[in-house]
Amino acid sequence: MTQDEIENAGWMEMSKYPPETQLNFTPPVPRYSVSDVVYRLKDGIMERNLALDRRKYENHSIVILTPIHNSERHLVQFGELISGLDYPKSKISVVFGEDSSKDETLTMADHVLKALKKEGFRRTEVHHFNITGQVGDGWENKHRRISQYRRRRHLANARNLLMKAGLKDEEYALWIDVDIGYLPSDLIQQMIFTNKDVVTPCCLYRKQNQIRIYDKNTWRETKISLSEQEKLPKNAVIVEGYGPTTRIFLPHLQGEGRAVPLDGVGGCSLLVRAECHRKGLDFPETPYRRHIETEGLAKKATDLGFTVYGLPFLHVFHR
Contact predicate 176/287, CB 8 Å: no
- Is the pLDDT assigned to residue 132 strictly greater than 90? no
132 or 253, which is more confident: 253
- Give the three-class secondary structure for 174: strand
> Using an 8 Å Cβ cutoff, are 247 and 222 in contact?
yes
d(CA 123, CA 125): 7
| Predicted confidence (pLDDT) at residue 137 exceeds the cutoff of 80 | no
From 210, 175, 185, select the one nearest 50 (Cα to Cα): 185
Q: Is the pLDDT of residue 190 over 70?
A: yes
Phi (first) and psi of residue 244, to 5 degrees: -60, 150
Range of the domain at 222: 1-319
The C-alpha atoms of residue 195 and residue 172 are separated, in whole angstroms, by: 11
- Looking at residue 230, its pLDDT comes to 94
Rounded mean pLDDT, 51-75 = 97
DSSP reduced 3-state for 163: helix
Q: What is the pLDDT of residues 259-279, one digit of tens each?
A: 999 999 999 999 999 999 999
Give me the residues paired with residue 176 across strands: 269
Q: Name the phi and psi angles at 81, rounded to 5.
A: -65, -40
CATH code for the domain in which residue 8 is found? 3.90.550.10
Q: How confident is the model at residue 33 (pLDDT cuts 50, 70, 90)?
A: very high
Q: Please give the tally of structural domains in the chain.
A: 1
The reported pLDDT for the residue numbered 5 is: 85
Single pTM value for the model: 0.95
pLDDT of residue 144: 67
